[in-house]
Amino acid sequence: MNDIDQRLEQLAARARHASAPPSTELPFGLATRAIASARVAANTAALWTRFSLAALPVATVATAACLWWSASAMSADAHDLAQVFIQTPLFP
In whole angstroms, give the CA distance from residue 56 to residue 6.
Answer: 68
Q: Answer for the pair 80, 74: CB distance below 8 angstroms, yes or no.
A: yes
Instruction: Specify the DSSP element, H or E, that contains 85.
Output: helix 78-87
Closest alpha carbon to 15 in 27, 23, 7? 7
Which residues fall within 8 angstroms of residue 78, CB to CB, at 6 or more apart?
Answer: none
Domain count, the chain: 1
For residue 33, tell me if it sits in a domain. no
Is the residue at 25 inside a domain?
A: no
Q: Quote the percentage of the chain above a pLDDT of 70.
A: 84
- pLDDT for 78 equals 66
Q: Are 74 and 81 in contact (CB under 8 A)?
A: yes
In a domain, 49, yes or no: no
The predicted-structure confidence for 39-88, as pLDDT tens digits, reads as follows 776 677 776 787 888 899 999 999 999 888 877 666 566 667 777 778 88
